[in-house]
Every structure is written in structure tokens, then in C-alpha cells.
Amino acid sequence: MSKVVMSLPKGMIKNSIVGGLLALVSYTALQLLCALFIDKGILPLEHLYPAVCVTAAAASFLGCGYSVLRGKGTSLSVPVVVAVFMTLTLTAAFLTADAISIENGVTGLGLSMAAGGLLAALVGSNLPKNSSRSRRRRR
């Protein structure tokens, strides 16, 4: 193994992959909710793209938040979760669409994912650090 991989915190790769999958599942559920709102007439069709960006940011926040909480407050895995989420989303888009282009809004979707991850990292950095010293009871 390379020296970089050996210096990563324990469980970071697993937490990042699980966080990316959690983000994808929550993104899919939120997209289905948006489709239901559009079908029922609650959300106009013109607001579809902003709704997609908001759901991408929320899903990224959930996935990255999971990874930050499991990583005990470190935000090192946030870019990895966003990359896994973006890769899975783009893979699904390539499998289901004829062509993917920047004009279709891929840039805004990626920026929304990054914004959700950044928000999770900012919230995670403000969490109290649990150290073994604070867990010990004084006698």
C-alpha cells in the first residue's frame, strides 16, 4: 500500500462510500417527492431545476453529515463523499440519458452537491471534540 492510504484515518473510506450511497438514496427519494409535487400541481414545472439543485444540496448534506459524524468530527471525508455521490449520479445519468452536457445543468447540480458538503463540513467542524480525556471520570 502507498503511504498516503496508510495515513488515512481508520474507517474513512468505508464511511465515505456509505455516505455517498446515503446521499444517492436520499437524493432519489427527494426527487420522487419533487415529481409528486409537480404531478399534483403543488410545484410548478418552471421550478423543477431549482428544486433539483436544492435536493442535491440536501442529499449531499445528509451523506456528508453522516461521514463527518462517523469520522468523529473530522471533515477529511467530505470531498470523497461528494465525489462518490457525483460519480454515482453521473453514472446513472449516462445510463438513462442519450447525452449529458453542461447546458443541461450539470454544473449547477455539481455546485449544489459541493455546497451541501461544505455546509456539512462547517457544521461538523463546530461539533465538540470527544477526547478520551473528557470521557474519563475524575476520582
User: Is 73 among the domain residues?
Assistant: yes
User: Is 133 among the domain residues?
Assistant: no
User: Is 48 among the domain residues?
Assistant: yes
User: Is 128 among the domain residues?
Assistant: no
Lowest mean pLDDT among 20-34, 68-82, 114-128: 68-82
User: Is 62 among the domain residues?
Assistant: yes
User: Is 136 among the domain residues?
Assistant: no
Lowest mean pLDDT among 12-21, 69-78, 103-112: 69-78
85 pLDDT tier (thresholds 50, 70, 90): confident
pLDDT, the chain, mean: 81
User: Is 116 among the domain residues?
Assistant: yes
User: Is 131 among the domain residues?
Assistant: no
Q: What is the pLDDT of residue 131?
A: 54
Tens of pLDDT along 18-39?
888 999 999 999 999 999 999 9
Count up the domains in the chain and report the number: 1
Q: What is the pTM of this model?
A: 0.79
CA 126, CA 98: separation in Å to the nearest integer? 43
CA 51, CA 55: separation in Å to the nearest integer? 6
CA 90, CA 96: separation in Å to the nearest integer? 10
88 lies in which domain range?
Answer: 11-94+105-122
